[in-house]
C-alpha cells in the first residue's frame, strides 16, 4: 500500500489549490493512505477531504525545535511517497529528516520524493525584466499537479468539490443572512494588499447596476471600509465582514449563486466547490484560477506582474491601472450572464 505525505503549510489560497493534489492522488491510487502536514489553522479545511487520512500540524511561528519534533514523528510513519508542494526552508528540513542525511533513503529507492519547483530563474526574469516564461495561461493548480506526472499521475485537476466544509458552519452562515433571502451574490472586495483591490467605487457601481440582485459582502475584522458598500443599496446589501469565521464565509460562498472576488482566498473556495466566480486579477502572478466556471478579468500591461504577492509598488504612469482598467460595466454584464444562465 502506498503511504503518501504532502507538505503545504501556507498560504490559504495555496492550501486550497493543493487540495486538488490530494484529490488526484486519491483517485489515481485508490489504495493510498494520504497524510498532510500544514499549519494548524488550515487543518479543518483539509481534514474533511475524503482522501485525507490524517493531518499533521505546526503552529504559526513554530520554532526549529518544533519542526524537528514534527520531523521525528513523521519519520516513524515510514511514508513510501513524499511530495513537498511548498518548497521552503521548513519543508526542506523536514524532507531531509524523512530521507536521512542528504536523502539517502530516496537514492536507495526506499522512498519516492518530489519537490515542487519554484522556478527561481523564471521568477527573476519575470520580476526583473517582465519576461514571462511561465506556461500561459498560468494555472496555480496545474503548477502544483505537474510534478506528480513523474509518478505517472495524470496532469488534470480532479472534479469538484475538493473542499468539504463543516455543516454547522453552513447553518451559522445561513443564520447570519436575512431570513427572507432565497438567493444572493457573494462579494469579496478586500485583499491582503491594497493594490490587489478593485476600487471601492467600482463595487458600488456593480451593486447599483444590478437592481434586482441581493449582495452579501465578505471580509475580515480589519475590513471596516466595506461598510461603505451598504449605502449603495441598504435594502439588498448585507455586510458580513468581521462577523464570520473563514469557514462560515466559505459557506456563504457555497450558498450564493455566484462570487465576485479580488485575488484572495475566497476565490479559491469558489473554484474548489464548483461555484461560478468572476475573478478580478491585478498585480500578482501566481494566484490565477484554473477551473472553467471562473471568468477571469485582467488587463494585459507591460508592468504586470509588479511583485510576487501584489504588494507593489505600482510603477505604471496611471496609478493602479491593472485594477482600475477593469470596468464595472464589463463585470456587471458578465455577472448578469452568469445569473441568467
CATH number of residue 26's parent domain: 3.40.50.2000
Mean pLDDT value across residues 302-306: 91
**Residue 105 has what pLDDT?**
56
User: What residue numbers bound the domain in which 43 lies?
Assistant: 3-117
At residue 267, the pLDDT reads 97
210 pLDDT higher than 70: yes
Is-contact 255 174, C-beta < 8 A? Answer: yes
Report DSSP state, residue 164: -
115, β-bridge pairs: 84
Q: Is residue 139 part of a domain?
A: no
Per-residue pLDDT reduced to its tens digit, 143-179? 999 999 999 999 999 999 999 999 999 999 999 999 9
Q: 3-class SS at 152?
A: coil
Confidence of residue 103 (pLDDT cuts 50, 70, 90): low
Looking at the fold, whether 107 and 239 belong to one and the same domain comes out as no
Say whether both 111 and 193 belong to one domain.
Answer: no
Tell me whether residue 52 is in a domain. Answer: yes
187 in the same domain as 66: no
Same domain for 13 and 92?
yes
Domain boundary (92, 117, 142) is at 117
Mean of the per-residue pLDDT values of the chain: 93
Split into its structural domains, the chain has a count of: 2
229 lies in a domain? yes
Q: Of 83, 117, 151, which residue is a domain's last?
A: 117
pTM: 0.93
pLDDT for residue 277 is more than 70: yes
The radius of gyration of the chain from alpha carbons, rounded to an integer in Å, stands at 21
Q: Does residue 153 belong to any structural domain of this protein?
A: no
Q: Is residue 142 included in any domain, yes or no?
A: no
Let me know whether 60 and 197 are in one domain: no
Amino acid at each position: 500500500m502506498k503511504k503518501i505525505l504532502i507538505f503545504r503549510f501556507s498560504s490559504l489560497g495555496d492550501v486550497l489549490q493543493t487540495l486538488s493534489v490530494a484529490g488526484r492522488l486519491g483517485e489515481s491510487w485508490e489504495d493510498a493512505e494520504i497524510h498532510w502536514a500544514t499549519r494548524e489553522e488550515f487543518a479543518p479545511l483539509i481534514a474533511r477531504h475524503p482522501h485525507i487520512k490524517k493531518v499533521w500540524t505546526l503552529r504559526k511561528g513554530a520554532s526549529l525545535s518544533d519542526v524537528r519534533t514534527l520531523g521525528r514523528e513523521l519519520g516513524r510513519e515510514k511514508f513510501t511517497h513524499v511530495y513537498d508542494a511548498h518548497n521552503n526552508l521548513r519543508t526542506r528540513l523536514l524532507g531531509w529528516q524523512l530521507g536521512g542525511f542528504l536523502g539517502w533513503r530516496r537514492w536507495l529507492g526506499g522512498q519516492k520524493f518530489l519537490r515542487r519547483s519554484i522556478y527561481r530563474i523564471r521568477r527573476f526574469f519575470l520580476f526583473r525584466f517582465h519576461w514571462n516564461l511561465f506556461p500561459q495561461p498560468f494555472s496555480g493548480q496545474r503548477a502544483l499537479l505537474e510534478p506528480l506526472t513523474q509518478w505517472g499521475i495524470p496532469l488534470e485537476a480532479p472534479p469538484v468539490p475538493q473542499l468539504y466544509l463543516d455543516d454547522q458552519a453552513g447553518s451559522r452562515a445561513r443564520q447570519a443572512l436575512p431570513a427572507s433571502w432565497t438567493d444572493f451574490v457573494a462579494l469579496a472586495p478586500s485583499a491582503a494588499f491594497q493594490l490587489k483591490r478593485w476600487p471601492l467605487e467600482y463595487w458600488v457601481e456593480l451593486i447599483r447596476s444590478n437592481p434586482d440582485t441581493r449582495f452579501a459582502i465578505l471580509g475580515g475584522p480589519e475590513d471596516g471600509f466595506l461598510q461603505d458598500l451598504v449605502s449603495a443599496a441598504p435594502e439588498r446589501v448585507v455586510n458580513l465582514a468581521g462577523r464570520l469565521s473563514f469557514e462560515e464565509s466559505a459557506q456563504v460562498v457555497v450558498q450564493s449563486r455566484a462570487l465576485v472576488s479580488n485575488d484572495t482566498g475566497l476565490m479559491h473556495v469558489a473554484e474548489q466547490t464548483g461555484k461560478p466566480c468572476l475573478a478580478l486579477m491585478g498585480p500578482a502572478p501566481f494566484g490565477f484560477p484554473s477551473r472553467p466556471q471562473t471568468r477571469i478579468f485582467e488587463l494585459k500591461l507591460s508592468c504586470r506582474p509588479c511583485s510576487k504577492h501584489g504588494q507593489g509598488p505600482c510603477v505604471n504612469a496611471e496609478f493602479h491601472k491593472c485594477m482600475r482598467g477593469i470596468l464595472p460595466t464589463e463585470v456587471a454584464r458578465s455577472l448578469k450572464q452568469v445569473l441568467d444562465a
